[in-house]
Structure 1
Amino acid sequence: MFLFNTTIMVEEPAHEEWLSWARAYLVPETMDSGCFVSSRLLRVVDSPNEGVTYCLQYVADNRGKIDEFLTRHDPQIQRTHIANFPNRFVSFSTIMEYID
Structure 2
Amino acid sequence: MIIYNVTSNMHKSLENEWLEWVREHIAQVLGTGLFMDARLTRVLVEEEDDSSTFSIQYKSTSREALELFYEKHDARMRQIAAGRFGDRVLSFRTELEMIDEYRVHGNMN
Give TM-score scaled by structure 2 length: 0.85
Q: Which residue of 2 aligns with 1:11?
A: 11
1:47 Cα offset (Å): 4.7
1:48 Cα offset (Å): 4.3
Q: Which residue of 1 aligns with 2:103?
A: none
C-alpha distance in 2 between matches for 1:54 and 1:89: 11
Identity %: 29
Q: Which residue of 1 aligns with 2:88?
A: 88
C-alpha distance in 1 between matches for 2:42 and 2:4: 16
What SS is found at the alignment partner of 1:85?
Answer: helix
Q: After the TM superposition, which residues 59-74 of structure 1 pair with which residues of structure 2 at under 5 Å, given as runs?
A: 59-74=59-74
Q: Which residue of 2 aligns with 1:34?
A: 33
C-alpha distance in 2 between matches for 1:90 and 1:17: 15
C-alpha distance in 1 between matches for 2:58 and 2:77: 15
What SS is found at the alignment partner of 1:13?
Answer: helix
Gaps of 5+ in 2: 101-109
Gaps of 5+ in 1: none
1:97 Cα offset (Å): 0.7
1:18-68 CA distance string (max 9 Å, x none): 001101x21011101111001000001115474110000000110111111
C-alpha distance in 2 between matches for 1:76 and 1:7: 18
1:11 Cα offset (Å): 1.8
C-alpha distance in 2 between matches for 1:64 and 1:80: 24
What SS is found at the alignment partner of 1:74?
Answer: helix
Runs of 4+ in 1 over 3 A off after TM superposition: 47-50
1:13 Cα offset (Å): 1.4
